[in-house]
Amino acid sequence: MNTGRQPETVREYLDALQVALKGCPPALIRDALTDAEEHLRNEMIQHPAQNEREVLMDVIENYGTPEEVAETYQTMEAAWSGPFPKSEEPPVQKRGFFSIVSDPRAYSALVYMLLSLATGIFYFVWTVTGLALSVGLFVLIIGVPFAILFIGSERVIAHVEGRMVETLLGVRMPRRLPQEYPAYRSFLGRIGDALVDVRTWSSMFYLLLMLPLGIVYFVIAVVGVTMSLGMTAIALFSLITNESHVQFDAFPVLEHILHTAPGLIIFALVGVLLFFVVLHVAKFIGYLHGKLAEVLLVRL
């Protein structure tokens, strides 16, 4: 039981909760703070006759202290299976080169790389168009409302992207939409909040960055998988038909070797080996991109 001084304001409660969750994934802390602030603000609205300290005393009695809430969230997080379930007893890690073939993270990262071109184009076009229209319409009466709607759409899109990152790359991302600016703030105050909120600009930067990254990811995935499957398939087909279909006019010696059965077998094995390399590269890219998304899309 916590015997220390209890928080007397919402800000103190949230600060204490963040301290209690220190060491947890940033996205988990973000979700916990969002839930707690929403609950506390609703309690304030429902009890207008009480001051903030009195409302917080009732909330702590029913909702729990920051330490108790933090423990609850950590327990729920440990129990959540997620896209990559954890067994009760972790299996012995296989770190061999060929063990990558049984790693679901490698395949899901490869899927993310294939999807990244389409999502990157959409994110880039939406963001650039929204920014251009926001600036162009700012001198008109509809300019400010349009800009606020655009910023809201960027947050929603960034949240959806975060869900994709968590599902396919296994990196914990926020499961709650970013909290809207408080209702008690004036309209101009909300505009100011949106403009100074670092999440607004970091999310936009991430969505713009996804186009060049998506092109690179897509090319690596398509070229790698195509070369691997193509080399293996053409070598096996040549062995079956007893006629080599591999042409290397610039390298006569290599072409001669690939017109023999041992050469075709080696060519097929190289194709299979390339597939394992592609899986390792995909998993590594997925790891790096997950860290990038965590930095730019999760802000405390």
Write out pLDDT tens, residues 183-211.
Answer: 555 555 666 666 677 788 899 999 999 99
Q: What are the tens digits of pLDDT across the range 100-155? A: 999 999 999 999 999 999 999 999 999 999 999 988 887 787 877 888 888 888 88
Region 252-275 average pLDDT: 79
Domain end marker among 28, 46, 79: 79
Higher pLDDT, 35 or 119: 119
Considering its fold, how many domains does the chain have in total?
2
Structural domain harbouring 279: 95-300
* Residue 268 CB contacts under 8 Å (≥ 6 apart), including other chains: 231, 232, 235, 236, 239
Identify whether the C-beta of residue 113 lies closer than 8 Å to the C-beta of residue 168: no
For the chain, the residue count is 300
Whether residue 215 is found in the same domain as residue 70:
no
Is 84 a domain residue? no
User: Among residues 192, 159, 185, 165, which one has the least CA distance to residue 288?
Assistant: 165
Q: Would you state the structure tokens that stand for residue 151, as one six-digit string?
A: 């910023």
Q: Would you state the structure tokens that stand for residue 170, as one six-digit string?
A: 């296994």
pLDDT of residue 188: 59
Q: Tell me the pLDDT of the chain averaged across its residues.
A: 82
Considering the entire predicted model, what is its pTM?
Answer: 0.78
Residue 232 in this model has a pLDDT that exceeds 80? yes
pLDDT of residue 253: 61
Region 10-37 average pLDDT: 85
Whether residue 64 is found in the same domain as residue 131:
no
Domain end marker among 52, 79, 106: 79
Q: What are the tens digits of pLDDT across the range 36-60? A: 888 887 887 887 777 778 878 877 8
